[in-house]
Every structure is written in C-alpha cells, then in structure tokens.
C-alpha cells in the first residue's frame, strides 16, 4: 500500500500542516532568547525536513531514478507552502501569511534538495574503469 511506503513523509507533512494551520493561541509559547526572525528559521527547517524526508522515501521506494516524480514532489511541496501562506492570511485570524515565510519555505526546499542529492550522489559507489 502506497501510504505505508511513504509513512515518514506523511508524518512530517502532518506535523508541518499542524504547526502551520493551528491558530497561534493554541500553539505552545517558546521563548528562545530574543532571536529576531526565529520564525523564518522554523519555516526553513520545516520544509527542509519535509523535502529530505520525501526525497528519501522516493529513493527508497522507486526501483530507478524517476526525475518526473522528483520534480512533481518538489513542485507540490512549494505549491503547498504557498497555499498554506494564503490560508493563514485569509482564513486564520491569529495568523498571517508572509512573502518572507514563503521565501524561507522555498529556501528550505532548495537547500534540502541540494544536500540530499549531494549526499546521495557522492555516497553511491563509483566503478573504476
């Protein structure tokens, strides 16, 4: 069953959705020293981990490299992050959407993708000719 093959991605996705869509007054307050723009780092890491997890699941569950599936996955994650920002801005009273949050999300996707492929490309054994 496909849901079982991608359960890690589904779990991370649910966590991202909950953290993004719950009204702010229901989320725990965490005071970490007075770090300016800490929420941008949170956005970055949420989408970084979502991207790395989904790419890892794709690699594990596909017999051969499927570039179209990978591109669709990355596009879907970026699209989802934009939709979430719009939902926050228009439908959740205690939240607001932000272009900078969206940029942090995209940066997390891009860096996660680059690090994933750098690690997996260089980790694969090479044949000596």
Give residue-wise pLDDT tens across range 57-98: 999 999 888 899 999 999 999 999 999 999 999 988 888 889
Does residue 56 lie within any of the structural domains?
yes
pLDDT tens digits for range 5-21: 999 999 999 999 999 99
Does residue 26 lie within any of the structural domains?
no
pTM: 0.84
Does residue 54 lie within any of the structural domains?
yes
Number of domains in the chain: 1
Structural domain harbouring 109: 2-20+38-122
Does residue 30 lie within any of the structural domains?
no
pLDDT tens digits for range 14-48: 999 999 998 876 555 556 566 666 789 999 999 99
Q: What is the pLDDT of residue 6?
A: 94
Spatial separation of the C-alpha atoms in residues 95 and 64, rounded to whole Å = 42
Q: 67-91 and 99-123 helices cross at what angle (nearest 10)?
A: 160
Does residue 29 lie within any of the structural domains?
no
DSSP-derived 3-state class of residue 99: helix
The CA angle 31-33-38, to the nearest 5 degrees, is 75
Q: What is the pLDDT of residue 1?
A: 72
Contact assessment for residue 74 and residue 109, using Cβ atoms and an 8 Å cutoff: yes
Does residue 28 lie within any of the structural domains?
no
DSSP-derived 3-state class of residue 55: helix
């Amino acid at each position: 069953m496909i849901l079982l093959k991608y359960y890690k991605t589904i779990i991370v996705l649910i966590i991202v959705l909950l953290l993004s869509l719950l009204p702010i007054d229901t989320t725990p307050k965490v005071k970490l020293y007075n770090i300016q723009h800490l929420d941008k780092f949170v956005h970055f890491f949420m989408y970084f981990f979502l991207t790395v997890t989904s790419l890892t699941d794709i690699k594990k569950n596909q017999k051969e490299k499927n570039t179209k599936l990978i591109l669709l996955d990355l596009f879907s994650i970026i699209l989802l992050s934009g939709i979430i920002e719009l939902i926050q801005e228009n439908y959740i009273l205690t939240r607001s959407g932000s272009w900078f949050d969206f940029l942090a999300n995209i940066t997390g996707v891009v860096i996660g993708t680059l690090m994933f492929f750098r690690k997996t490309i260089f980790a694969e054994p090479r044949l000596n000719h």
